[in-house]
Amino acid sequence: MAWQTFSGAPLKDDLFKTVEETIIKETKQGNRLKVCIGTDSQVKNGTIEFATVIVFLRERRGGFMYVNKTREKAKMELKRRMIIEVGKSVDIAYKLCDLLEKYDIPLEVHADINTDPNFQSNSALSEAMGYILSMGFVFKAKPNAFASSSCADKLV
């Protein structure tokens, strides 16, 4: 996984080390943080493009994010793609949860799934919510899932 900043610069160290250094730096500057993780995807010419983001929110001071983009040559139904998105987010959340807990940083996992049953993505809502909650994470879906439905969405 090649993580980068929003501007496209690759991270200098591995993700875990970079996140810890980020937390230490931001805390020293007096910022209270919250981390939101989300993934979105889009099908383009038979290839599924995924973007996973780690959004750092500074209380009353904006935020920034780290991004990972991947591609997969596959054909799949929407519900399966939504669950894969959630899986990518949960995987990163799980890798970072001990670190975030160590520094008392709240964590949310955002799913790009609509809570309105009139939308196709809603078919994956119960599975996604169950998966995220069973892992012990805070779950957010549209319209409150900005990490996936706004941040990651802009990158695929």
- Give the residue extent of every domain in the chain: 3-155
pLDDT, mean over the chain: 95
Q: Which pLDDT score is estimated for 75?
A: 86
Asked if the model's pLDDT at residue 52 lies above 90, the reply is: yes
Q: Which pLDDT score is estimated for 128?
A: 95
Reading the block at residue 110, the tokens are: 């955002």
Query: Residue 22 and residue 14: Cα distance in Å, rounded?
Result: 12
pLDDT exceeding 70 applies to what percent of the chain?
Answer: 99
- Of 42-46, 64-68, 108-112, the poorest mean pLDDT is in 42-46
Asked if the model's pLDDT at residue 96 lies above 70, the reply is: yes
Region 108-117: mean pLDDT is: 94
Q: Which pLDDT score is estimated for 1?
A: 59
Query: Residue 135 and residue 151: Cα distance in Å, rounded?
Result: 23
- pLDDT level of residue 97 (50, 70, 90 thresholds): very high
- pLDDT level of residue 74 (50, 70, 90 thresholds): confident
pLDDT, tens only, 117-147: 999 999 999 999 999 999 999 999 999 999 9
Reading the block at residue 154, the tokens are: 């802009």
Length of the chain in terms of residues written:
156
Q: Into which CATH architecture does domain 3-155 fall?
A: 2-Layer Sandwich (3.30)
- pLDDT level of residue 22 (50, 70, 90 thresholds): very high
